[in-house]
Structure 1
Amino acid sequence: MVASDLPIGDRIRHYRGERRQDVVAGLVGIAPDYLSQIERGLKVPSLPILHAIAQELGVPTTALLADMAVGSRASLDTTEPAIVRALMGYGSPCSPSSAEPTALRERVESAWRIWQSRKTRFTDMAGVLPGLIADAEHAARTARSAMDPAQRRSIMRVRADLYFLLRSYLRRTSRVDLSMMAADRAVRAAEEADDPLRMAAAQWNLGHVLLAAQELDGAEQVALRAVEELRRSPIAEPDRVAMSGALQLVAVVAEARRRDWSAARDRLRNHARPAARSVGEGNIMWTVFGPTNVALHEVSIEMEAGDTSEALQVADDVDTSDLPSMERSFTFNLEVARCHHLRRDDAAVLLNLLELEDLAPEDLARTPLARKLMLTVIRRGRTMHARQAEKLAERVGVF
């Protein structure tokens, strides 16, 4: 069985298997070049030709038709339904004791460590988040009716941290709409906690959702406004500098995606990099801010600007092995793979994809760019590389 969003051409190539392209084309009665263009997505066959190809390949015509348009949200939605139900309705708490602030804090921090480090993080979150959401919301309702302001603020800090995690999870499972909801709840929880650091982190999370929604101006404005607010906040200097640096990187991404390369480079050089050098490697509010993360953004800028040689040169000096977040390592290696893709170096693309499979197989299966790179190697790579890419696609569920 193939993925529902797989294009027609890739389906034909998959079912053709080891059979020679020119032989199949000849039996169908079309030119080999025409079949090649169909498989590469350059031509769309008429229904009679599609029916003839299906008959020759021994599959129903419907097997060659994609169920939905590539790139649609539904085709990539991998959100666990139980998490959505908990998010929308909260559900019943597991037990009264599980909503105690200290225990709840430990559970949320454990969930964050799982999310940032495990290869099976999506599967693991399916078992962790529903109950955690229900208990956090139960604790919040209880705390609002209690008389102890300190306990209420403690619960709200935990709730904010949980919704930071949900924002990231939902974004990675292609639910930008629910990710926005989670970011908004994080903002409200941070405000109820009256915690300046978490209020800044909530704006950082909101900025990332706005980037995902292509609201670039909004993302930049949110981030820079939070930087200004941090300057007036009574926060310890290292935390303030690190959080400000993380927010500056949100603005850097927004400028790069607007193709304002000069502004993005200047902001990274004059604001984010000095902050990173000042505080060193860290993970303030789960942002993974530090010199390595700044270098990863530099690679992204040069890649987006089309200077793949410079991007790969910068990437050569980056070591992600000690990053606390596997997700950042995955994103970096995927961007390196994209650089090689732009240089049409399919062997290097395949090598990076295989490394990504070892690093984070569940992320590889869920990331649209990774799926696109796999299909590109299958379509245009040398026979050996195409076969390896097709086996990889089968392992992660594209085919």
Structure 2
Amino acid sequence: MDPDFLVGQRIRDHRQQRGRSQAVVAGLCGITEDYLSRIERGVKTPTLHVLIKISRELRVPVAVLVGDTSPAEPPPSSTPPMAKEVTQALLVSSAVTTSAPAPAALRKRVNAAWSIWQRSPRRFTEAAVVLPSLIADTEAALRTSYTEAECGALREAQRCAADLYFLLRSYCRRAGRTDLSLLVADRGRKAAEAADDPIRIAAATWNLGHILLGTDEPEEAADVVLRGLGQLGEPRTVEATAMAGALELVGVVAESRLGLRWEARERLQSKAGQHADRVGDGNIMRTVFGPTNVALHAMSLDMEAGESTEALHLADTVDTDLLPLERQFTFLLEVARCHDLRKEDAAVLVRLLDLETLAPEDLARSPLGIQMVKDLRRRVRPTYRKQVSDLAERVGID
């Protein structure tokens, strides 16, 4: 039997047990009654965020809705662990045995680390080589006693620290360490505030917003966005406008996950879109904000609403070749998910292979990517079975 039908049947059974109508549950979850009806009939596959909303409204664990009713602990993740050298550098303060690097030299190394992170297909492996010593040297630079005449050097060291911890926020989150992601995000905020740098303070807020979205706390993320925009004030420079737009995009995602889809679209068009038109495509504070990123968020809104056909039509109009690797990966992952919702297995396989070529280490660490590989291996036709099985083995799926 089609597993999507079983999921839909479980949703319907639990809804009826609670005496809820489709109209009520759909309204509370921010989806249409027709969409919920199609989910219950197995015609549509709910996105993860929709499934989470339904589980909350029905007060039923997601695991029960998808058929995993085992009381045992979940099996250990096959996701590659975070490099222990990076973890140790973050958690264990080493004694300073050499002089701290000059801020100018530190800036070059931080920028080089960001280049690896945003451009290298093997960015986890390469970052793990440079980050431990860079963390230690950055902390050493912050502990250095600067004279009054060297206050400019101190501020640059603080800005370098903020930028490094922004990178580490993404690294830790992608490596599955949300706890460390929060730790370094807080360090980045403190460094930005110590440097009295409004743009980096806004970037620290943007980073925190992404962590809250990643831990499924959209209400808190929306509050963070409001505070960040308030601190930033009326943007009067390109940098401030880009950061305001990036914060608005966090608000777009937060509203979408709260079921406020019309509000999310309005924010995307009237606020984020206007900022994007003013600044064009860029990478201020590594946010990749601009018209292309706004278009990618519009595609995501369609996908989250279950409108995969519309999302794919929009994807065909977007050129991501000039975007950093991380954003290209997210885009292709969402395209694969749209095909997955439509049960277009050949297209899903093609996109997953594209993702492996683009960033194999990211695919091995992507929960959504891994789940799509597992689902595809379970249902794929014999024609593609060997390709899917080989892909599953390469990304570490037993």
TM over 0.5: yes
Q: Which runs of 5+ in 1 are unaligned?
A: 1-40, 46-66
Which of 146, 156, 160 is matched with 1:158 structurally? 160
Aligned to 2:337: 338
Map 1:189-200; keep pairs closer than 5 Å.
189-200=191-202
Q: Counterparts of 1:222 and 1:184 in 2: how far apart (Å)?
A: 13
Q: CA deviation at 1:69?
A: 1.3
Q: Counterparts of 1:150 and 1:307 in 2: how far apart (Å)?
A: 52
Secondary structure in structure 1 of the residue aligned to 2:201: helix
Q: CA deviation at 1:194?
A: 0.5
Aligned to 1:120: 122
2:198–2:232 Cα contact (<8 Å) kept:
yes
Aligned to 1:354: 353
> Relative to 1, partners in 2 of residues 1:217 and 1:121: Cα closer, same or farther, differing over 3 Å?
same
Aligned to 2:82: 79
Q: Counterparts of 2:258 and 2:370 in 1: how far apart (Å)?
A: 25
1:94–1:131 Cα contact (<8 Å) kept:
no
Q: Which amino acid aligns with 1:76?
A: T
Q: CA deviation at 1:375?
A: 1.0
TM-score, normalised to structure 1's length? Answer: 0.79
Aligned to 1:308: 308
Residue 69, structure 1, aligned to residue 80, structure 2: no
Secondary structure in structure 1 of the residue aligned to 2:82: coil
Aligned to 2:286: 286
Secondary structure in structure 1 of the residue aligned to 2:144: helix
2:165–2:184 Cα contact (<8 Å) kept:
yes
2:79–2:396 Cα contact (<8 Å) kept:
no
Map 1:1-399; keep pairs closer than 5 Å.
69-70=74-75, 76=79, 78-92=81-95, 95-96=98-99, 99-143=101-145, 148-231=150-233, 237-323=237-323, 325-399=324-398
Q: Which amino acid aligns with 2:160?
A: V
Q: Which amino acid aligns with 2:341?
A: L
Q: Counterparts of 2:81 and 2:121 in 1: how far apart (Å)?
A: 16
1:259–1:305 Cα contact (<8 Å) kept:
no
> Relative to 1, partners in 2 of residues 1:350 and 1:143: Cα closer, same or farther, differing over 3 Å?
farther
Q: Counterparts of 1:338 and 1:258 in 2: how far apart (Å)?
A: 21
1:78–1:366 Cα contact (<8 Å) kept:
no
> Relative to 1, partners in 2 of residues 1:214 and 1:245: Cα closer, same or farther, differing over 3 Å?
same
Aligned to 2:37: none
1:163–1:186 Cα contact (<8 Å) kept:
yes
Q: Which runs of 5+ in 2 are unaligned?
A: 1-65
Q: CA deviation at 1:263?
A: 1.1
Q: Which amino acid aligns with 1:127?
A: V
1:203–1:223 Cα contact (<8 Å) kept:
yes
Q: Counterparts of 1:381 and 1:210 in 2: how far apart (Å)?
A: 35
Q: Which amino acid aligns with 2:200?
A: R
Q: CA deviation at 1:82?
A: 0.7
Q: CA deviation at 1:91?
A: 2.5
Q: Counterparts of 1:221 and 1:43 in 2: how far apart (Å)?
A: 34
Q: Counterparts of 2:67 and 2:251 in 1: how far apart (Å)?
A: 37
Q: Deviations over 1:44-75 (max 9, x none)?
A: 99xxxxxxxxxxxxxxxxxxxxx9615x6x65
1:160–1:190 Cα contact (<8 Å) kept:
yes
Q: Counterparts of 2:356 and 2:94 in 1: how far apart (Å)?
A: 35
1:80–1:126 Cα contact (<8 Å) kept:
yes
Q: Counterparts of 2:210 and 2:146 in 1: how far apart (Å)?
A: 29
Q: Using the TM superposition, name which of 136-145 and 112-121 deviates more.
A: 136-145
2:80–2:364 Cα contact (<8 Å) kept:
no
Q: CA deviation at 1:227?
A: 1.4
Q: CA deviation at 1:295?
A: 0.9
Q: CA deviation at 1:310?
A: 0.9
Structural RMSD (CA): 2.1
Q: Which structure has the greater CA radius of gyration?
A: 1
Q: Counterparts of 1:221 and 1:44 in 2: how far apart (Å)?
A: 35
2:202–2:243 Cα contact (<8 Å) kept:
yes
TM-score, normalised to structure 2's length? Answer: 0.79
Aligned to 2:54: none
Q: Which amino acid aligns with 1:172?
A: R
Q: Which amino acid aligns with 1:300?
A: S
Q: CA deviation at 1:386?
A: 2.3
1:276–1:289 Cα contact (<8 Å) kept:
yes
Q: CA deviation at 1:228?
A: 2.1
Q: CA deviation at 1:151?
A: 1.8
Q: Counterparts of 1:81 and 1:109 in 2: how far apart (Å)?
A: 23
Q: CA deviation at 1:94?
A: 7.6
Q: CA deviation at 1:236?
A: 5.4
Q: CA deviation at 1:148?
A: 3.0
Aligned to 1:33: none
Q: Counterparts of 1:143 and 1:311 in 2: how far apart (Å)?
A: 54
Q: Using the TM superposition, name which of 218-227 and 107-116 deviates more.
A: 218-227
